[in-house]
Amino acid sequence: MRLAPVVALAVMFATSMVRAGDPAADLDERGIVALEQALLDAGTLGRVMNLAAHPDDEDSGMLALCRHGLGLRTSAVYANRGEGGQNEIGSELYRELGAIREVETLRADRRIGAHAYFLGLEDFGFSKSADESFTHWGGQEAVVERVVLVYRLVRPDVVFTNHDATTGHGQHRALAIAGLEAFHLAADPTAFPEQFERYGVEPWQPTLFLERTNGPGQREEQAADRASWIHVRVDERDPIRGTTFRAQAHAALKEHASQGRWVEPDRAERSFRVKARQHESLLPPAEDPFDPVALTRLRVFRALAEAGDTPPKDHPAQRLLEYGAVRRQWPSTRSTEELQAAIDAQERAFAAILDADRDGRLRHLAADIAEARARLAHARAIAAGTDVPRDMAEPDPFLFASPAYDVLDPLRRAPRCEPVVVDFAPRKRLLVETADTNKTRVEAVAIVTLAAPLADTVPVELVGQDGAHARHVVWSGVVNPGATRQLLAIAFDFDANSRSGRFVLRDARTRTPWPHVELQVHRVSVRCPAGLTIGVVQSYDDTLVNALADLGVAVVRLQSDDLAFRDLSRFDAIFVDIRGYFVREDLVTFNDRLLAYARDGGTLVVQYQKSFEWNPATNGGHAFAPYPLLLSNARIVDEHAPVEMLKSDHPVLSWPNRIGSADFDGFVHERGLYFPKPPFAPEYRALLRCADPGDPALDGGLLVASVGKGRFAYTSFGWYRQWKNGHEGSLRLLANLAAWGRMESR
pLDDT for 639-680, tens place per residue? Answer: 999 999 999 999 999 999 999 999 999 999 999 999 999 999
Question: What would the mean pLDDT of 86-94 be, rounded to a whole number?
Answer: 87
Q: Which residues contact 474 (CB under 8 A, 6 or more apart)?
A: 462, 463, 464, 492, 493, 503
**Which range among 325-334, 443-452, 483-492 has the greatest average pLDDT?**
483-492
**∠ CA(626), CA(631), CA(634), 5° rounding?**
150
Q: What is the pLDDT of residues 168-182, one digit of tens each?
A: 999 999 999 999 999
Q: How far apart are CA 21 and CA 657, in angstroms?
A: 58
Burial (0-12, 13-18, 19+ Cβ within 10 Å), 439: middle
Position 420 scores a pLDDT of: 76
**Which range among 234-248, 294-308, 408-422 has the greatest average pLDDT?**
234-248
Categorize the per-residue pLDDT at 593 as very low, low, confident or very high, splitting at 50, 70 and 90: very high
For residue 704, which of 649, 642, 643 has the smallest C-alpha distance? 649
Q: How far apart are CA 250 and CA 63, in angstroms?
A: 12
Categorize the per-residue pLDDT at 402 as very low, low, confident or very high, splitting at 50, 70 and 90: very low
Residue 490 has pLDDT above 70, yes or no: yes
Residue 26 has pLDDT above 60, yes or no: no
Q: How far apart are CA 156 and CA 135, in angstroms?
A: 28
Residue 23 has pLDDT above 60, yes or no: no
Scanning 538-590, the segments in alpha helix (DSSP H) are 543-550, 560-564, 580-583, 585-589
Average pLDDT value over all residues in the chain: 86
Question: Helix %, strand %, coil % for the chain, to 5?
Answer: 35, 20, 45
Position 64 scores a pLDDT of: 96
CA distances to 131, 202, 329, 352, 354 from 304, rounded to whole Å, are 41, 16, 27, 14, 12
Q: How would DSSP label each residue in 318-356? A: HHHHHHHHHHTT--TT--HHHHHHHHHHHHHHHHHHHHH
Question: What would the mean pLDDT of 398-427 be, rounded to a whole number?
Answer: 52
Burial (0-12, 13-18, 19+ Cβ within 10 Å), 683: middle
For residue 727, which of 427, 430, 426 has the smallest C-alpha distance? 430
Q: Which residues contact 348 (CB under 8 A, 6 or more apart)?
A: 319
The residue with greater pLDDT, 619 or 378, is 619
Residue 140 has pLDDT above 50, yes or no: yes
Q: How far apart are CA 394 and CA 377, in angstroms?
A: 17
For residue 339, which of 6, 107, 563, 681 has the smallest C-alpha distance? 6
Position 329 scores a pLDDT of: 55
Residue 541 has pLDDT above 60, yes or no: yes
CA distances to 301, 325, 350 from 321, rounded to whole Å, are 11, 6, 11
Categorize the per-residue pLDDT at 225 as very low, low, confident or very high, splitting at 50, 70 and 90: low
Q: How far apart are CA 696 and CA 605, in angstroms?
A: 26
Q: Which residues contact 133 (CB under 8 A, 6 or more apart)?
A: 127, 170, 171, 173, 174
Position 189 scores a pLDDT of: 97
Q: How far apart are CA 531 and CA 402, in angstroms?
A: 46
Q: How far apart are CA 45 and CA 68, in angstroms?
A: 14
Position 28 scores a pLDDT of: 61
Position 360 scores a pLDDT of: 73
The residue with greater pLDDT, 740 or 369, is 740
Beta-carbon count within 10 A of 470 CB: 11
Q: How far apart are CA 597 and CA 590, in angstroms?
A: 11
Beta bridge partners of residue 512, listed in sequence order: 507
Local structure of 611: helix, strand or coil = helix
Determine the distance from the C-alpha atom of residue 401 to the mean position of all C-alpha atoms in its chain, rounded to a whole number. Answer: 17
Local structure of 92: helix, strand or coil = coil
Residues of the chain above pLDDT 70, percent:
86
Question: What would the mean pLDDT of 273-297 be, rounded to a whole number?
Answer: 90
DSSP secondary structure code for residue 360 in this structure: S
Residue 327 has pLDDT above 80, yes or no: no
The amino acid occupying position 512 is T
Residue 322 has pLDDT above 90, yes or no: no
- What are residue 214's phi and psi, to 5 degrees? -135, 30
Position 399 scores a pLDDT of: 55
Q: What is the pLDDT of residues 27-86, one digit of tens each?
A: 567 778 888 888 888 888 999 999 999 999 999 999 999 999 999 999 999 999 999 999
Residue 15 has pLDDT above 60, yes or no: no
**Which range among 183-187, 333-337, 436-440, 468-472 has the greatest average pLDDT?**
183-187
Position 36 scores a pLDDT of: 84
Position 435 scores a pLDDT of: 66
3 state SS for 213-278? CCCCCHHHHHHHCHHHEEEEECCCECCCCCCEHHHHHHHHHCCCHHHCCCCCCCCCEEEEEEEEEC
Q: Which residues contact 89 (CB under 8 A, 6 or more apart)?
A: 100, 257, 258, 540
Position 483 scores a pLDDT of: 85
Question: What would the mean pLDDT of 116-136 be, rounded to a whole number?
Answer: 93
pTM: 0.81
For residue 82, which of 65, 94, 64, 68 has the smallest C-alpha distance? 94
Beta bridge partners of residue 513, listed in sequence order: 506
DSSP secondary structure code for residue 69 in this structure: I
Position 419 scores a pLDDT of: 65
Burial profile 627-648: b = 16 or more Cβ within 10 angstroms, e = fewer: eebbbbebbbbbbebebebeee
Categorize the per-residue pLDDT at 353 as very low, low, confident or very high, splitting at 50, 70 and 90: confident
Question: What would the mean pLDDT of 137-154 be, rounded to a whole number?
Answer: 95
Query: What does R_g of the chain's alpha carbons equal in angstroms?
Result: 30
Residue 223 has pLDDT above 70, yes or no: no
Position 18 scores a pLDDT of: 27
Q: What is the pLDDT of residues 266-279, one digit of tens each?
A: 788 888 999 999 99
Position 12 scores a pLDDT of: 27
